[in-house]
Amino acid sequence: RKEVEQDPGPFNVPEGATVAFNCTYSNSASQSFFWYRQDCRKEPKLLMSVYSSGNEDGRFTAQLNRASQYISLLIRDSKLSDSATYLCVGFDPAGNNRKLIWGLGTSLAVNP
Partner 1 sequence: DGGITQSPKYLFRKEGQNVTLSCEQNLNHDAMYWYRQDPGQGLRLIYYSQIVNDFQKGDIAEGYSVSREKKESFPLTVTSAQKNPTAFYLCASSLPTSSGGSSYNEQFFGPGTRLTVL
Residues at the interface with partner 1 (CB under 8 A)? 4, 31-32, 34, 41-46, 49, 87, 91, 93, 96-100, 102-105
Q: Which residues contact 40 (CB under 8 A, 6 or more apart)?
A: 84, 85
In the complex, least distance from residue 73 CB atom to partner 1, rounded to whole angstroms: 16
- What letter would DSSP give residue 3? S
Residue 68's contacts (CB-CB under 8 Å, 6 or more residues apart) are: 24
Query: From start to end of the chain, where are the E strands?
Result: 4-6, 11-14, 19-25, 32-38, 44-50, 55-57, 60-65, 70-75, 84-92, 99-102, 106-111
**Alpha carbons 31 and 92: distance in angstroms, whole number:** 8
Measured from the CB atom, is 17 or 101 closer to partner 1?
Answer: 101
In angstroms, give the least distance from the CB of 64 to partner 1: 13
Nearest approach in angstroms of CB 103 to partner 1 is 6
- Least gap, CB of 16 to partner 1 (angstroms): 30
Nearer to partner 1, 79 or 99 (CB): 99
Residue 58 or residue 95: which is nearer to partner 1 going by CB? 95
Q: Give the nearer residue to partner 1 in terms of CB position, either 41 or 68.
A: 41
